[in-house]
Structure 1
Amino acid sequence: MTPSPILLTSPDDILGAVPYILGFHPADSLVVIAFAGRGARGRLRVTTRWDLPIAPGALDRLVPLFQREGVTHTILAGFGDGVLVTPAMDEVRRLLSDAGVNVIEALRADDGRYWSYVCTRAECCPPEGRPYDPLAGEVAAQATFAGLMALPDRESLRRSIVPVTGAARVTMREATRSVAADVRAKIVTVAEPREAPAAFVAEGLERVRRSIDAFHRLGPLPDHEAARLGIDLSVVRVRDEAWTLMDDDTQDTHVALWGDLTRRLEAPFVPPAASLLGAAAWRRGDSALAGIAVERALAVDPSYSMANLLAQGLQQLVSPAVLRQRMPTPEELDASMGPPRMEWLHPMLELLDDHTLRTP
């Protein structure tokens, strides 16, 4: 969860930690927190959240995931009415028992009270449930101190990357039209057309690296720089450069940068930035934000390949480590894709001609 691990010693701790693990306070949800190792040495490996009710057979995907991740024990937390939570809880407990995964606690929380499916002692787990406050506990205080945030609900998380409006949208649209006109003119008027792709890609690769560093040091990019970076990312080789630059030290910067661009870019240029946001969030372990970012990309372009790849991985509960292991280096990308060609720029040029950019 944080550079300083938070010890979970009670149901109150667990229920206090879940919103900060997810990034929002869940409702009508089943949350599975999985660990590898034994006792106090166990390490958090996977957290998954499922909307309730859950489709028959959907939970079956947990078993191969846990086998890949070496999961040994889990904590389960259901949020909502017992009619919704209990069938899902019974199913996941059966699956994990058959797979040899220990369930050390299984809770249901609703309307400020919680119940345990594991403990049957009335003195600590009475039939009417035990009261708890997810906002006032020690774990919530530790998580807040560590810089973690828990939004009120998933809808709040979705709203965190909705497009900017008002004056911010007007100035961004004007900047995009201006930059788009300059880029198109530069490409179509170049003296030697065969040199245009290489020059565009080289500038784009440098701009990606420079923008990541600038955002880390200074925060959001000026409108014209953000618009130009958005145009650069519409070329796959430039977008993939940004993807290869994600690592454990920079993933927070990537989440912030691509999240900012997802909100500010004009709609035709959103899919690459939103997909990069999804990849960075997923790498960080924030599958909720990753899923929302992918949804945003596919809402603009349902055929966008990177977003579809991420959507499949999230749906199949693939570990982000798999993508990290298979992601080529920039040098390997150059070797596999070869020298830049004019067809690389065709999708970008079509976007520059989009009527939404030419509308006054």
Structure 2
Amino acid sequence: MTTTPSRTPLTARCSEDLIALAPVVLGFWPEESIVLLTFGAARPFHARVDLPPREVQDKKVRGEVCRMLLGPAQRYGVRAVVLLYFTSDLLAAEAVHTTLARGCRRARIQVVSGVVADGHAYVDLGAGGGRLGPPTPYDVTIHPFVLDALVSGQLPHRSRDEMAAGLELDPVLAAPVLAALADGGLLDTGPPADGRAIGTQGAWVEQTVARAVATGELPRPGELARLLWTLQVPLVRDAAWSLLDRAGATAHVRFWTDVLRRAPDPVAAAPAALLGWSAWQAGDGALAWAAVDRCRRSEPAYPLAADLAKLLEHAVPPESWTGVPDWRIGLPRGGGDAH
């Protein structure tokens, strides 16, 4: 599930406004998706999940969708929701909408509107299910919400797949880093295990990442190779993680995206997880989930990604995070000097 904090308030007065609002709050155009817009809570949020295809839908599947979307809504005291279904399968959307509307009634959450949109026409759904009218043509590509988002950079991707593709290895960018890893024999060498060596590498990582984030300049290929190699050690990775805060999160997103696009799969888990945490702190839940998925492909049970996934699933607000404890705790003295 993608969760995104509510940003600058936008006033929606009709179904087309609601359809245009979805890509703005998500950062991409949703496809075969259910989008939940929430209102009335102390901290409103928006969420997206895949719409289950009609052929796999049953009571259990629809109940899981209800749990994923309405669980966080109940926890945060949401009073009203809008349910948007982006699909050409009207029957699949109607079946899920009936379940979600029933769940909202039980939770005493008002369904303000339900809309199914296929990219060309939309159908309004009732609060309890059922169609309220015939399909209505629409085009939100030049809607003011969308145009403002394009100008401000809030809508950088055409689809979630396009966003995820931006986290994949770029062979051209990665070639110098791969050469440095091979020349240094790092892919065949285990990462540091001695406490003093871990401290030294952690201090170097801390300095290197801090400098790169502050200046916007990516380290040289040899330094990137060393960074990727040593980030395999959890404590060293935590040295980089400890630099993250909400104020600088966007700069960390840029840095870790650049690193991840140069990271071969065996050493991609750490930068992917760090990108995910940075995106969450920057308020970009969609990118955070894409980074979690990228991390899991490299290392399915990576603990840092699993922890982030739990926070995203429960729509935990980024501001609730208090940061990382001192990564040096327990290391031998004198092991925290960079070389």
The TM tier, using the shorter chain, reads 0.7 to 0.9
CA 1:211 to 1:234, structure 2 compared with 1: closer, same or farther past 3 Å? farther
Contact between 1:211 and 1:221, CA under 8 Å: does it hold in 2? yes
- Of residues 94, 100, 110, the one that matches 1:86 is 94
Query: Aligned runs of 1:264-343 on 2, under 5 Å?
Result: 264-314=262-312, 316-321=313-318, 324-325=321-322, 327-330=323-326, 333-335=327-329, 338-339=330-331
CA 1:88 to 1:3, structure 2 compared with 1: closer, same or farther past 3 Å? closer
Which structure has more helix as a fraction of its residues? 1
Structure 1 window deviating more from structure 2 (273-282 vs 204-213): it is 204-213
Query: Aligned runs of 1:115-154 on 2, under 5 Å?
Result: 115-118=123-126, 127-154=133-160
Normalised to the residue count of structure 2, the TM-score between the two structures is 0.82
Contact between 1:291 and 1:311, CA under 8 Å: does it hold in 2? yes
- Give 1:345's aligned residue: none
Q: Deviations over 1:115-162 (max 9, x none)?
A: 211489xxxx98332221121111111212222115222221221111
Point out which structure has higher relative CO (alpha carbons under 8 A, 6+ apart): 2
CA 1:196 to 1:183, structure 2 compared with 1: closer, same or farther past 3 Å? farther
Q: Once the 2 structures are TM-superposed, how far is the Cα of residue 172 of structure 1 from its aligned partner? A: 2.1
- Give 1:347's aligned residue: none
Q: Which runs of 5+ in 1 are unaligned?
A: 342-360
- Give 1:352's aligned residue: none
Q: Deviations over 1:170-203 (max 9, x none)?
A: 2221122345559979979xxxx77433322222
Tell me, yes or no, if structure 1 residue 71 matches structure 2 residue 82.
no
Q: Once the 2 structures are TM-superposed, how far is the Cα of residue 227 of structure 1 from its aligned partner? A: 2.1
Question: Any idea what SS the aligned residue of 2:328 has?
Answer: helix
Contact between 1:16 and 1:139, CA under 8 Å: does it hold in 2? yes
Structure 1 window deviating more from structure 2 (194-203 vs 293-302): it is 194-203
Q: Once the 2 structures are TM-superposed, how far is the Cα of residue 229 of structure 1 from its aligned partner? A: 2.2
* Alpha-carbon distance between aligned partners in 2 of 1:194 and 1:241, rounded to the nearest angstrom: 14
Tell me, yes or no, if structure 1 residue 114 matches structure 2 residue 119.
no
Q: Once the 2 structures are TM-superposed, how far is the Cα of residue 273 of structure 1 from its aligned partner? A: 0.4
CA 1:15 to 1:56, structure 2 compared with 1: closer, same or farther past 3 Å? closer
Question: Any idea what SS the aligned residue of 2:280 has?
Answer: helix
- Of residues 169, 175, 178, the one that matches 1:173 is 178
Query: Aligned runs of 1:108-257 on 2, under 5 Å?
Result: 108-118=116-126, 127-165=133-171, 167-179=172-184, 195-215=196-216, 218=217, 220-257=218-255
Contact between 1:16 and 1:140, CA under 8 Å: does it hold in 2? yes
Tell me, yes or no, if structure 1 residue 31 matches structure 2 residue 23.
no
Contact between 1:212 and 1:254, CA under 8 Å: does it hold in 2? yes
Structure 1 window deviating more from structure 2 (275-284 vs 11-20): it is 275-284
Tell me, yes or no, if structure 1 residue 60 matches structure 2 residue 67.
yes
Contact between 2:6 and 2:45, CA under 8 Å: does it hold in 1? no
**Aligned AA for 2:46?**
V
**Aligned AA for 2:118?**
D
* Alpha-carbon distance between aligned partners in 2 of 1:299 and 1:182, rounded to the nearest angstrom: 18
**Aligned AA for 1:67?**
Q
CA 1:287 to 1:126, structure 2 compared with 1: closer, same or farther past 3 Å? same
Question: Any idea what SS the aligned residue of 1:319 has?
Answer: coil
Structure 1 window deviating more from structure 2 (296-305 vs 61-70): it is 61-70
- Give 2:336's aligned residue: none
* Alpha-carbon distance between aligned partners in 2 of 1:150 and 1:108, rounded to the nearest angstrom: 24
Contact between 2:124 and 2:133, CA under 8 Å: does it hold in 1? no
**Aligned AA for 1:227?**
A
Contact between 1:151 and 1:157, CA under 8 Å: does it hold in 2? yes
**Aligned AA for 2:307?**
L
Normalised to the residue count of structure 1, the TM-score between the two structures is 0.78
* Alpha-carbon distance between aligned partners in 1 of 2:52 and 2:187, rounded to the nearest angstrom: 50
Structure 1 window deviating more from structure 2 (88-97 vs 179-188): it is 179-188
**Pairwise CA RMSD of aligned residues?**
3.2
* Alpha-carbon distance between aligned partners in 2 of 1:82 and 1:270, rounded to the nearest angstrom: 39
Q: Which runs of 5+ in 2 are unaligned?
A: 334-339
- Give 1:50's aligned residue: 50
